[in-house]
Amino acid sequence: MSKTPQRLHLVFGGELIDPQRNEFKDVEKIHVVGIFPNYAAAHAAWKAEAQRTVDDAHTRYFIAHLHRLRDEEMAAAAEDQGR
Q: Tens digit of pLDDT for each residue in 4-15?
A: 678 999 999 999
For residues 62 and 16, the answer to whether their CB atoms sit within 8 Å is: no
Domain 9-82 belongs in CATH node 3.30.70.2400: yes
pLDDT of residue 9: 96
Q: What is the pTM of this model?
A: 0.77
First to last CA, the chain: 33
- Residues 48-71: tens digit of each pLDDT: 999 999 999 999 999 999 988 766
For residues 33 and 11, the answer to whether their CB atoms sit within 8 Å is: yes
CA distance 51 to 44: 11
For the chain, give every domain's residue range: 9-82
Examine the pLDDT at 16 and tell me if it is beyond 90.
yes
